[in-house]
Amino acid sequence: MENDLSDLFSGLVREHSVPGAQLSVYREGALYELAEGVEHTGSRRPVTPASRFAYGSVSKIFTAALIMQLVEDGDLDLDAPLTGYLNLRGLPVGHPAHATTPRQLLSHTAGLVSDHEADPARTEPLRHYAASLLRSEPVGAPESAFSYSNSGYALAAHLVEAVTGQDWWETLESYLALPTGLDLAFVYDARAPRASGGLVSGHAVDTGSGRAEPVDFHIESEMAPAGGLGGSATTLVDFARAFMTPDDAVLDSDIADTAVLNEMGRAVPSADPFGLADGWGAGWALHLAADRFWYGHDGTLDGGTCNLRVDPVGRVAVALTTNGTTGIQLWEALVPGLGELGLDVGHYRQRAPVIRSQETGAEVTGHYANGDLAVEVTRHEDGALWFTLSNGFSGPLVACANLDFSVTVRDLGDMSFDGRFLRASDNPSTITAMQYNGRVLRRAFAPVRSRV
For residue 22, give the H/E element and its range: strand 20-27
> pLDDT tens for residues 423-435?
988 887 889 999 9
- Cα–chain-centroid distance for residue 182? 20
The answer to whether residue 326 scores a pLDDT higher than 80 is yes
What is the reported pTM?
Answer: 0.92
CA 415/CA 423 separation, integer angstroms: 27
For residue 238, give the 3-state DSSP assignment.
Answer: helix
C-alpha 108 chain-centroid distance: 11
Sign of CA dihedral 41, 47, 52, 58: positive
243 contact partners, CB below 8 Å, separation of at least 6: 258, 261, 262, 264, 265, 295, 310, 312
Q: Which spans in 23-148 are helix H?
A: 60-72, 102-106, 125-135
Strand 366-370 to 373-379 pairing: antiparallel
Q: Would the CA dihedral through 13, 16, 17, 22 be positive or negative? A: negative
Of 116-125, 251-260, 327-336, the poorest mean pLDDT is in 116-125
CA distance 225 to 152: 10
The structural domains of the chain, with segments of one domain joined by +, span 1-349, 366-444
Confidence of residue 400 (pLDDT cuts 50, 70, 90): confident
Instruction: Evaluate whether the domain defined by 1-349 bears CATH number 3.40.50.150.
Output: no
Query: Would you tell me how many other CB atoms lie within 10 Å of the CB of residue 31?
Result: 15
Q: What average pLDDT does the chain have? A: 91
Tens digits of per-residue pLDDT, 157-209? 999 999 999 999 999 999 999 999 999 999 999 998 888 789 999 999 998 89
pLDDT at 429: 81
CA distance 67 to 267: 17
Distance, in Å, from the CA atom of 319 to the CA atom of 308, rounded to the nearest integer, reads 4
Q: Are 150 and 243 in contact (CB under 8 A)?
A: no
**Cα separation of 95 and 140, whole Å?**
10
